[in-house]
Structure 1
Amino acid sequence: MSFNHSVIWIDHQEAHVIYFNPTASESEVIKTRSTHKNTHHKSGSVSGSHAGPDEHYLHEVIQAVKESKEILIVGPGSAKLELMKHATKHDHLTADKVVGIETVDHPTDGQLLAFAKKYFVKADALKGDTIITG
């Protein structure tokens, strides 16, 4: 089945990826292999620096949405921006498909899908594309 849209909810531990079209959706969860639980500045660090993003994790998330035509990235913290920076640096074709980056706390997958559909209704209407309903 072809899914034109994807939404990624991401934090530093896991990413919820939902692929969808007007009539169906599929989802998957991608988890980091990093042992760093907290990447905030000075958190448990003698040097005062923070752990860098898990590049393998970010790459895996970007690969998951490579076939999507439009991508929305959401999340509660800086991981969504790190994902976009990673995509821009390593896969500019996928980065060009990102239509928005939004701050969203910790929704259920159902809430995330509803948020994404509502977002894409507005984005698609502005471009004159087919409207997603339901």
Structure 2
Amino acid sequence: MSFNHSVIWIDHQEAHVIYFNPTASESEVIKTRSTHKNVHHKSGNVSGARAEPDQVYLHEVIQAVKESKEILIVGPGSAKLDLMKHATKHDHDTADRVVGIETVDHSTDGQLLAYAKKYFIKVDALKGDTSITG
């Protein structure tokens, strides 16, 4: 089945990826293998510098949406921006298909799908595309 749209809800521990079209959806969860629970500050670093995000994790998330025509990235913190920076640096084609980055608290996959459908209806309407509304 072909899914034109994807939404990624991401934090530094896991990403919920939902692929969808007007009539169907599929989802998957991608988890980091990193043992660092907090990337805000390096442990034992007096400067308080931010720890680097897990690049392997970010790469896996980007690979998951490689076939999507339009991608929405959402999440509560900085992981969504880290993901976009990673895509811009390592996968320009996928980065070019990101239509928005939004701050969204953790929600169920059903709530996330509903949010994404509303978002894409607006985006597609601006482009004259009605693929989400049928």
Q: Which residue of 1 aligns with 2:44?
A: 45
The SS at the match of 1:82 is helix
Q: Which residue of 1 aligns with 2:36?
A: 36
Q: Which residue of 2 aligns with 1:91?
A: 91
Q: Which residue of 1 aligns with 2:124?
A: 124
Residues 9-41 of structure 1: per-residue CA shift (max 9 Å, x gap): 000000000000000000000000000001113
Where in structure 2 are the equivalents of 1:63-102 lying within 5 Å? Answer: 63-102=63-102
Amino acid at match of 1:46: N
Partners of 1:10 and 1:75 within 8 A in 2:
yes
Amino acid at match of 1:19: Y
TM-score, length of structure 1 as denominator length: 0.95
Task: Give, in angstroms, the shift of residue 64 of structure 1.
Answer: 0.2
Distance across 2 between alignment mates of 1:10 and 1:71: 13
Residues 75-110 of structure 1: per-residue CA shift (max 9 Å, x gap): 000000000000000000000000000000001000
The SS at the match of 1:26 is strand
Amino acid at match of 1:77: G
Distance across 2 between alignment mates of 1:40 and 1:46: 11
Partners of 1:125 and 1:131 within 8 A in 2:
no
Distance across 2 between alignment mates of 1:103 and 1:46: 29
Distance across 1 between alignment mates of 2:40 and 2:92: 27
Distance across 1 between alignment mates of 2:60 and 2:5: 18
Q: CA RMSD in A?
A: 1.3
Task: Give, in angstroms, the shift of residue 132 of structure 1.
Answer: 1.3
In structure 1, stretches of 5+ residues that fail to align are none
Distance across 1 between alignment mates of 2:72 and 2:44: 33
Task: Give, in angstroms, the shift of residue 131 of structure 1.
Answer: 4.2
Q: Percent identity?
A: 86
In structure 2, stretches of 5+ residues that fail to align are none
Distance across 2 between alignment mates of 1:45 and 1:15: 27
TM-score, length of structure 2 as denominator length: 0.95
The SS at the match of 1:41 is coil
